[in-house]
Amino acid sequence: MNIPRLSCPRVVIVGGGFAGIALAKQLSKQEVQVVLLDKHNYHTFQPLLYQVSTGGLEPDSIAYPLRKILKNFPNILFRLAHVEAIDVANNKVITNIGDLSYNYLVVASGSETNFYGNTTIAENSMVMKTIPQSLDLRSLILENFEDALLTSDLQERDKLMNFVIVGAGPTGVELAGALAEIKKGILPKDYPDLDTRRAQINLVQSGDSILKDMSEKASIKAEAFLESLGVNVWKNLRVTHYDGSLATTNTDVTFETATLIWTAGVKGATIKGLDAASFVTKGNRVVVDEFNAVKGLDNVFAIGDIAHMVTAQQPKGYPMMAQPAIQQGEQLGKNLVRMLAGKPMHPFKYKDKGAMATVGRNKAVVDLKRWKFQGVFAWFVWMFVHLFFLIGFRNRAVVFVNWVYNYIRFDREARLIIRPFKKRHNTKQGNH
Amino acid sequence: MNIPRLSCPRVVIVGGGFAGIALAKQLSKQEVQVVLLDKHNYHTFQPLLYQVSTGGLEPDSIAYPLRKILKNFPNILFRLAHVEAIDVANNKVITNIGDLSYNYLVVASGSETNFYGNTTIAENSMVMKTIPQSLDLRSLILENFEDALLTSDLQERDKLMNFVIVGAGPTGVELAGALAEIKKGILPKDYPDLDTRRAQINLVQSGDSILKDMSEKASIKAEAFLESLGVNVWKNLRVTHYDGSLATTNTDVTFETATLIWTAGVKGATIKGLDAASFVTKGNRVVVDEFNAVKGLDNVFAIGDIAHMVTAQQPKGYPMMAQPAIQQGEQLGKNLVRMLAGKPMHPFKYKDKGAMATVGRNKAVVDLKRWKFQGVFAWFVWMFVHLFFLIGFRNRAVVFVNWVYNYIRFDREARLIIRPFKKRHNTKQGNH
């Protein structure tokens, strides 16, 4: 991997998401050599992936070069690498570009889609955890409308215009709302020769409420917002099988659909060597103590989505979201500095900053500790907070320009099929 | 293709580039049914592709949805289709989504890269005529630097950091300048553990001047600009063979390079059925008369790059550039309206608006009819003209934000490997 061995300790961080970046920043200017590994050369702002999928934002404005984040920190090196395994016995990380030894290892590998073992859904559904996946979904949605135009078979046409989103967490709700706005504002103009009123957006939730991690008020209001936009909200319904054409459920409800989007679950993105039953718990998360140390190992830590930390404050573990990840990254950074200085570490304390989700234009729900509100103001708060947390001035400026434009013009101009999804395997490389 | 046959004549346009769009707009609100076919669902602003390749702009801001361009024109339909052949005997277009008959056909299929029969170069070089190709090049450039970090073999490292651009037209010059600025401004910060001074940018030109279609003053000044940026400009040199690792030339000069970018030629993107020797001339262009009618056919026309029109004004045919394409599209639109009204058509007259190219920050060359100038002011003119010709307010705003940011910060933030180029065939779909 061509990394010099210095006399100071080496901290290897696996993953440049919210947690990994927050940690790396804390370790800058310290007497440690930090090596950050990620399979992408950019940090992804995951909360806005659904806007990439629905043509509201360009992918490049929610991604930020990892090397740029780190460029002012001479003690931090970056390597573009897939981590294949961790050898905890020999303090070594095994990657596609070679092995790397560590004094301290921090796993911040995040989460991946959880299909709960359902292979038909895993094989045939779309997911939205990375930028390429979001772009694939964008292409598929647009290709489906292009194909709907070509068929005279009404059943086939309806199937192409029927969208089923499984899972009514923030991602599912936001995606359903965005698709409903596209149906209303863009399709009739883009496809004058297609009866786009027949397009359906279905949001399927296994429990009896949507946004179940938010307040009841937020849940009820978000559902009302979705219904006002024409989304079919299905509760207490579980999709059990999907062959790419027909989705069946635990009841007699079925959906004929060419597009099933699975946002119903995530699990820890475990890594070989740290995936034994002694390390992981429910949802593939690595069990850590209140200092983010992995159970049974004294120089391996886990932070963010991958870490399962049980505290009196949070007996079920922290939610797999940006805020706990950022705060754990910062806290572990400070703790490592303390530890290296021979001082005791401080236990993690989570500051709950609330939760929010947006359904559409002027429609969002916000839960703060002492104040829960919905509607236009919530929507502005949602936008402001997301702009604030985006990394980089240029990204903020470009996202802001897009949002202002989309708001004024009821438009989403990034409806581009740059890389076709359906025909990808038939076209010659670089030829589409 | 599911297109209704109306009583008015049907005009089929193949290609949504500058020429096709200009024509379609002229035919809006006329008593004709227009069907525009393109293999992409967007119009590409080709003059800025090199900025996508070099991380200065995001791809979505130089692309514009074709359906959006056409949405206010109820007599114009769009179909996403690859045109496979033209059956001039039966007035039919054959595509991957079915056949389509026409009363009038206008071929505006543009141009493609011309390797002049050199298969080793065709197989191993990068080209930059479409957005996916530009993104592939962006990925490859960045992947090469990531790989250069990993090797201790100095020869291999130099090869990964050695760029050879063949062809010193505007695209080659602009790309070379952008790479030189990246070498100077971005690489040392992004790759502190790599001696990026060893990166080389070579611009190879077979003739004895660069920008040969521009004035001598522009050519000389552009070369001086390139040299001030550290680009190696090679003249009177032809690359004759490239195996993906070593490029050989017509002299004893050779280049060890992992990246050869071919911008040395274009040819008409001919279509089967219109590619016979009776229709095409040098450079695969379809011969047309001064009304853009294809020789020997009374209801088939060709406009833009694909059309070869010889006039007293331009005995060698018009250059394969945006301006002749736009003007021919507009003129043919007016002529078709005249023809359908039983009036005589007017011959094409080209208004030469000049030519320009940019080399880098504050460095551009502009040739107007009566005034040729270079330097800072030329650079501002170049930017203003390109912003003006971009389609859509949002695209202009986003490009403007990027340019202002890049100018102030000496930066290019879209240095993202969204879809790896090198490893594309090894990674699972949607998994990178």
**pLDDT tens per residue across span B254-286:** 999 999 999 999 999 999 999 999 999 999 999
Share of chain A above pLDDT 70, in %: 98
Does A358 reside within a domain? no
CB B389 within 8 A of CB B395: no
- B-chain CB neighbours of A189 within 8 Å are 67-68, 71
Q: Is the pLDDT of residue A429 over 50?
A: no
Residue contact B151–A2, C-beta within 8 A = yes
Alpha-carbon distance of A172 to A164, in angstroms, equals: 10
Choose the mutation target among A5, A41, A129, A189 for the interface with B, i.e. most B CBs under 10 Å: A41
- Give yes or no: residues B98 and B50 share one domain: yes
Q: Is the pLDDT of residue A182 over 70?
A: yes
- A-chain CB neighbours of B63 within 8 Å are 416, 418
- What per-residue confidence (pLDDT) applies to A427? 34
- Give yes or no: residues A123 and A258 share one domain: yes
Instruction: Tell which of B294, B309, B340 closes a domain.
Output: B340
Mean pLDDT computed over A5-9: 95
- What per-residue confidence (pLDDT) applies to A188? 94
How many other CB atoms are there within 10 angstroms of residue A22's CB atom?
Answer: 22
Q: Is A185 on the interface with B (CB under 8 A)?
A: no
How many other CB atoms are there within 10 angstroms of residue B369's CB atom?
Answer: 9
Closest in B3, B190, B393 to A68, CB measured: B190
- What per-residue confidence (pLDDT) applies to B423? 64
Per-residue confidence in pLDDT tens, chain B, 432 aa:
889 999 999 999 999 999 999 999 999 989 999 999 999 999 999 999 999 999 999 999 999 999 999 999 999 999 999 999 999 999 999 999 999 999 999 999 999 999 999 999 999 999 999 999 999 999 999 999 999 999 999 999 999 999 999 999 999 999 999 999 999 999 999 999 999 999 999 999 999 999 999 999 999 999 999 999 999 999 999 999 999 999 999 999 999 999 999 999 999 999 999 999 999 999 999 999 999 999 999 999 999 999 999 999 889 999 999 999 999 999 999 999 999 999 999 999 999 999 999 999 999 999 999 999 999 999 999 999 999 999 999 999 999 999 999 999 899 999 999 999 986 433 333 322
- Give yes or no: residues B226 and B276 share one domain: no
Q: What are phi and psi of A190, to 5 degrees?
A: -75, -30
Give the 3-state secondary structure of residue B241: strand
- Give yes or no: residues A100 and A160 share one domain: no
Distance of CA A341 to the CA centre of its chain: 36
Beta-ladder partners of A156:
none
Does A389 reside within a domain? no
Task: Tally the domains of chain B.
Answer: 2
Residue contact B150–A98, C-beta within 8 A = yes
- Give yes or no: residues A292 and A222 share one domain: no
- CATH code at A104? 3.50.50.60
Does B3 reside within a domain? no
- Give yes or no: residues A103 and A221 share one domain: no
Beta-ladder partners of B78:
B36
- What per-residue confidence (pLDDT) applies to B291? 97
Task: For residue A174, indicate whether it is catalytic.
Answer: yes
Give the 3-state secondary structure of residue B255: strand
Q: Is the pLDDT of residue A331 over 60?
A: yes
Alpha-carbon distance of B190 to B415, in angstroms, equals: 10
Q: Is A385 on the interface with B (CB under 8 A)?
A: no
Residue contact B419–A132, C-beta within 8 A = yes
Residue contact A394–B405, C-beta within 8 A = yes
Instruction: Tell which of B209, B235, B264 closes a domain.
Output: B264
Alpha-carbon distance of A175 to A152, in angstroms, equals: 29
- Give yes or no: residues A32 and A150 share one domain: no
Domain that holds residue B235: 119-264
Does A46 reside within a domain? no
Alpha-carbon distance of A308 to B229, in angstroms, equals: 52
Residue contact B393–A415, C-beta within 8 A = no
Does B46 reside within a domain? yes
Provide the chain A residues 321-360 that lie in CB contact (below 8 A) with chain B. none
- Give yes or no: residues A260 and A290 share one domain: no
Residue contact B417–A40, C-beta within 8 A = yes
Q: Is the pLDDT of residue A10 over 70?
A: yes
CB B414 within 8 A of CB B58: yes
Question: How does residue A1 score in pLDDT terms, banded at 50, 70 and 90?
Answer: confident
Question: Could you say which of B58, B112, B143, B174 is catalytic?
Answer: B174
Longest Cα–Cα distance in chain A: 74
- Give yes or no: residues A213 and A244 share one domain: yes
Choose the mutation target among B3, B58, B189 for the interface with A, i.e. most A CBs under 10 Å: B58
Question: What is the value of ipTM here, to two decimals?
Answer: 0.93
- Give yes or no: residues B272 and B233 share one domain: no
Q: Where are the beta strands (DSSP E) in B170-306?
A: 200-204, 232-234, 239-242, 246-249, 254-256, 259-262, 266-268, 280-281, 285-288, 300-302
- A-chain CB neighbours of B1 within 8 Å are 150
- Give yes or no: residues A309 and A172 share one domain: no
CA distance A61 to chain B (A): 8
- CATH code at B199? 3.50.50.100
Angstrom CA distances, A6 to A24, A32, A75, stand at 18, 9, 10
Q: Which chain B residue has its CA at the smallest distance from A38's CA?
A: B432
Instruction: Tell which of A305, A323, A340 closes a domain.
Output: A340
Q: Is the pLDDT of residue A293 over 60?
A: yes
- Give yes or no: residues B295 and B222 share one domain: no
Q: Is the pLDDT of residue A160 over 90?
A: yes
Residue contact B67–A191, C-beta within 8 A = yes
Does B368 reside within a domain? no
Does A325 reside within a domain? yes
8-state DSSP, A145: H
Residue contact B68–A190, C-beta within 8 A = yes
Task: Write out the DSSP string of A375-398.
Answer: EHHHHHHHHHHHHHHSSSHHHHHH
- What per-residue confidence (pLDDT) applies to B1? 85
What's the mean pLDDT when you consider all of chain A?
95
Q: Is A154 on the interface with B (CB under 8 A)?
A: no
Structure tokens at B87: 């059956």
Does B411 reside within a domain? no
Q: Is A27 on the interface with B (CB under 8 A)?
A: no
